[in-house]
Amino acid sequence: MALKSTSSPIVISTAFQQGVVNTFEAVPVDLQLNPLDQEVFVVTAAKIDFDNLPFTDNPGGAITDAVISSNFEVAVCKNRPSTIQTIGSSNVVAASQVFTLTTYGASGTPLGTTVFEQNPMDAPPSQLDYLDIVATDNFFLALDGLNNTTAASGSVRLFGYRARADAATYAALVQSEMLSQ
């Protein structure tokens, strides 16, 4: 692959707040790449943090003798997804999920909550040159949640650099990105 770095390392940071609780949405983040120069963004690492935990409220103790799951999901995608994506999709640069399991007793009071979190790598293994390449001028944050009383809130940080691709490589990267929708 013919890529020539055109910048020093870059960190792109953005915060997100889900607009409507438990509703999928995709938010664009502009990379300001120059397609005339066949410029791409080479992602070397990704970090996704959640600022709050998913939680299901139990008004009036309506939930009894049950375990209820709540979750937040975020995916950094190379093009706009129509549903939440996982790392199993070629469209996804990084993904993270946090979910809670809350146990409610016979009286409807919470007895305990367990938190699980799945994160992207904070730093790639040393043998990787990069995690992914974004060839179009933006990427998208896909957000979703289930069984929550609050909206997902968090931050995404991508590490990488700008590079110029030769014509054949640039065309292949753009075509691959567009076909992975």
pLDDT less than 70: residues of the chain: 1, 120-126, 181
pLDDT tens-digit series, residues 80-123: 999 999 888 889 999 999 999 999 999 888 888 898 888 766 55
Please give the distance of CA 174 from its chain centroid, rounded to a whole number: 20
Question: How much is the pLDDT for 1?
Answer: 63
Q: Are 168 and 174 in contact (CB under 8 A)?
A: no
Q: What is the pTM of this model?
A: 0.87
Which pLDDT score is estimated for 128?
78
> Domain segments of the chain: what residues?
3-179
**What are the residues whose beta carbons fall under 8 Å from the beta carbon of 146, sequence distance 6 or more?**
22, 54, 69, 70, 71
Helix (H) or strand (E) holding 42: strand 39-50
**Pairing relationship of beta strands 25-30 and 110-118 according to DSSP bridges:** unpaired
Q: What is the DSSP string of 67-125?
A: EEEEEEEEEEESS--SS---TTSTTEEEEEEEEEEEEE-TTS-EEEEEEEEE---SS--
Residues 6+ apart with CB under 8 A from 122: 45, 47
Tell me if 84 sits within 8 A of 73, measured CB to CB. Answer: yes
Cβ 43 vs Cβ 157: under 8 Å: no
pLDDT of residue 108: 87
String of DSSP letters for 99-110:
EEEEEE-TTS-E
Phi, psi of 170, deg, nearest 5: -60, -45
